[in-house]
A and B are shown apart, each in its own frame.
Chain A
Amino acid sequence: METIKINIDNKNIEVAKGTTILQAARNNGIHIPTLCYLNLEDMHIENKPGGCRVCVVEVQGRKNLAPACATECLEGMVIKTHSVRALNARRTVVELILSDHPADCLVCAKSGNCELQTLAQDLGIRQITYKGAQSTYRKDTSPSIIRDIDKCVMCRRCETMCNTIQTVGALSAINRGFEAVVAPAFEQNLIKSPCTFCGQCVAVCPTGALTEVDHTPQLIRDLADPTKTVVVQTAPAVRVALGEEFGMSAGSIVTGKMAAALREIGFNYVFDTDFAADLTIMEEGTELLGRLSKFLNGDKDVKLPILTSCCPAWVNFFEHYFPEMRDIPSTSRSPQQMFGAIAKNYFAKKIGVDRKDLVVVSVMPCLAKKYECGRDEFKTDGDPDVNYSISTRELAHLIKQANIDFAKLDEEDFDNPLGESTGAAVIFGTTGGVIEAAVRTAYELFTGKQLQKIDFEELRGLENVRSATIDFNGLPINIGIAHGLGNARKLLESVKKGECQFHAIEIMACPGGCIAGGGQPLHHGNADVIKARHAAIYQEDHDKPIRKSHENPYITKLYEEFLGKPCGELSHHLLHTHYFDKSKVEIKVK
């Protein structure tokens, strides 16, 4: 590796050729503030427009100041990151941004978590010297995401996520100069754009320009209503991230504290989406085995590979961009919706409550789940199977409002019968987990043999697109995995062209899977946070006494008591769905 010598803030250091000033500084404990820059190295996500100029530094012999994020170190470079000139310029830049930013920090959804606020705080800005025009855009509220574009600082991180990473193309920078803004085509509302509501734009937005729709006020009303029975389900990825909102380190597993907090808030039953994840495996696994045996019996029309369908943003994506392939994904509903259907049609009867008086709340690492629970096909006579979906961040607010000292809570268990789950369900929370859970069950059901080794290391990791072949007693089963919708698109296109022969493919819309979902505590560009959650998911799986979905005793009981058999008639009615063609309307030809 070719290295060069530079001097930065009077420190002589040696860096690899091609290193930027910002990287060199960060690797050597010098914190140059940034705003538009974003780099999740291991996830191959980078936003480096060099546009905000917050990271300017002084380079000896150079006439103008250099943006540290976009300037490569050169041999012998002498850099001052906090010279008076650099500090003044940085302060001016931030003051100018603030001069066109609403000063409603006290009531902003991002308050306390806003990178612009932190920047103003760190630079000690106490007044905004500049007065000038203020942007006045209209607020756009979709079922999942609110766009409050007056708070946009044109960092263009959302544009990078939406276009380069997710290849959704809902957002783009439009207009120029002071009028420049990020918006959907023709400045229409998000709901009219191809947006999948994956929420990756929200996950990276440094300010309050992009936030989630907050469902906690209605939820608090229902909790206080004595005629309502309120049940809650929590997704696997929430338990490895919620702790961060209370100052715990990333990757802290807070399952027991979370259950205790939910009970303290006043939920009548504290259940687990993981139970429904086990149910998903029973249905999806049975579907996979059904298609496989047809295939092995020479059926040429059978749809293989089977694609997972638990990610609602992914469902939105293929409905929009690959509608002609919509008979390939599994018809199994997502765990959130399976839980809702079982809660309203089985549990409500069991406890003698009318389904309209049973309020089902889900806590999700995801914003697309908000859109999903509002889909018409998941309603009975207008009553949704899942009433509200709140994000991990919203749950944290709810806990804080309920005056709960989260760190000091004793650990508690989920309620039964919809709270028992296996390790297979936990790993739904990360890329590769759904397919590993499916393989654990499908292998045993298909071969009739017990697995020697439950851990399928070959399916794990954070590489963008992965593949592995699993030996089903002499029958090689080819598995594909993609996370991030751009990678999903690549994989789907190669399937479409017949370039690869997979039997099953797992897709999660968010890079990293649900652990890095749009509803999770913000990672602020730190990939280590996501890696710690990833490791915690596998730790939680490892520590579970039962680690295969078909061995969950409450799942067995549910089939005996209520459903009959996987993919049976009642399952088909309650636990499966169908997909729609949502590609844009054909251009009218006269």
Chain B
Amino acid sequence: MSTIKITLRNSDVEQLKQICKNFNNDPGELINVLHGAQGLFGYLPAEVQELVAEELHISVAKVYGVVTFYSFFTMKPKGKHPISICLGTACYVRGAEKILEETKKQLKIEVGGTTPDGNFSLSCLRCVGACGLAPVMIVGDKTYGRVTPDRVKEILAEFND
């Protein structure tokens, strides 16, 4: 996994410290703190992990160990419009895989990747509870149902600034 170094803004540092404080700077709450931090930044760059380690009085190696253990945590920044494609049973049988292939082709990225311009990132999930609309694709906060491969291009176009 690559290390992406960012420079944290003063306000980010304060907010991150507050998240740690909300969990009493308890090392046992590391996962919850990281969850909060990822909510704040969208991902967990090295700087964030270093600050969390300092606030919880544990080693950076330990924090990195937890970040790399759980697939939910990521050190790659998400795109401005994160795309999730449902691969739950209902969506799958109704052709979700084709939607996924088409999206990968359109954006030229793999699952877990982010486009070079930072506009889109792509991930998969299992069932969003909208099986009646299968196959389902989510871009940002917007959910699209009954998606067909030829609709992918126009959906993505909605988000091209």
Contacts and interface: CB of A to CB of B under 8 A. Distances in A.
A103 interface: no
A169 B58 contact: yes
A366 B54 CA distance: 30
B69 A174 contact: yes
A173 interface: yes
A194 B7 CA distance: 22
Given A172-B65, A174-B64, A174-B65, A590 B9 contact: yes
Contacts of B49: 185
A468 B1 CA distance: 50
Interface residues of A, number: 23
Contact of B65 (A173, A194, A588, A589): A173
B60 interface: yes
A170 B60 CA distance: 8
B64 A186 contact: yes
B160 interface: no
Interface in A217-260: none
Nearest to B60: A185
Given A172-B65, A173-B65, A174-B65, A194 B59 contact: yes
A185 B62 CA distance: 7
Interface in B1-19: 1, 3, 7-10, 13
B59 A170 contact: yes
Nearest to B64: A185
Contact of B59 (A163, A175, A186, A588): A163
A479 to B, nearest CB: 29
Given A176-B69, A588-B8, A590-B10, A193 B50 contact: no
A587 B51 contact: yes
Nearest to B50: A587
A183 B61 contact: yes
A91 to B, nearest CB: 30
B68 A589 contact: no
B61 A587 contact: no
Given A169-B58, A185-B59, A590 B65 contact: no
Interface in A173-228: 173-176, 183-188, 193-194
A169 B60 contact: yes
A171 interface: yes
Contacts of A408: none
A573 interface: no
A11 interface: no
Contacts of A185: 46, 49, 59-61, 63-64
B69 A587 contact: no
B62 A186 contact: no
A168 B62 CA distance: 11
Contact of B61 (A175, A184, A590): A184
Interface string B88-109: 0000000000000000000000
B110 interface: no
A186 B67 CA distance: 10
Interface string A40-51: 000000000000
Nearest to B71: A176
The DSSP consensus for interface residues of chain B is: helix
Contacts of B1: 186-187
A135 to B, nearest CB: 15
Given A185-B59, A186-B46, A587-B47, A172 B64 contact: yes
Given A169-B58, A174-B68, A589 B63 contact: no
Nearest to A176: B69
Contacts of A131: none
A321 to B, nearest CB: 11
Contacts of A183: 61
A584 interface: yes
A170 B64 CA distance: 11
A182 to B, nearest CB: 9
A590 to B, nearest CB: 5
Contacts of A587: 8, 13, 47, 50-51, 54
A174 B66 CA distance: 7
Contact of B7 (A163, A172, A584, A590): A590
B8 A590 contact: yes
A505 to B, nearest CB: 23
B122 to A, nearest CB: 21
Contacts of B54: 587
Nearest to A177: B69
A298 B10 CA distance: 45
A170 B8 contact: no
B4 to A, nearest CB: 10
A171 B1 CA distance: 16
Nearest to A171: B61
Contacts of B60: 169, 185-186, 584
A529 B76 CA distance: 49
Contacts of A176: 68-69
Contacts of A173: 65
Most buried by A among B9, B49, B60: B60
Nearest to B67: A174
B59 A169 contact: yes
A587 B60 CA distance: 13
B136 to A, nearest CB: 29
Residue of A169, A172, A173, A584 with most chain B CB atoms under a 10 A cut-off: A172
Interface in A144-172: 163, 168-172
B160 to A, nearest CB: 30
Interface in A567-589: 584, 587-589
A590 B1 CA distance: 26
A589 B68 CA distance: 26
Contacts of A590: 7-10
13 contacts: A163-B59, A170-B59, A172-B65, A173-B65, A174-B65, A175-B68, A185-B64, A186-B64, A194-B59, A584-B60, A587-B51, A588-B7, A589-B9
Q: Which 3 A-B pairs have the closest CB atoms?
A: A169-B59, A172-B61, A185-B60
Interface of A: 163, 168-176, 183-188, 193-194, 584, 587-590
Interface of B: 1, 3, 7-10, 13, 46-47, 49-51, 54, 58-65, 68-69
Given A169-B59, A193-B61, A588-B47, 11 more contacts: A169-B62, A171-B61, A172-B62, A172-B64, A174-B61, A174-B69, A176-B68, A183-B61, A186-B60, A187-B1, A589-B7
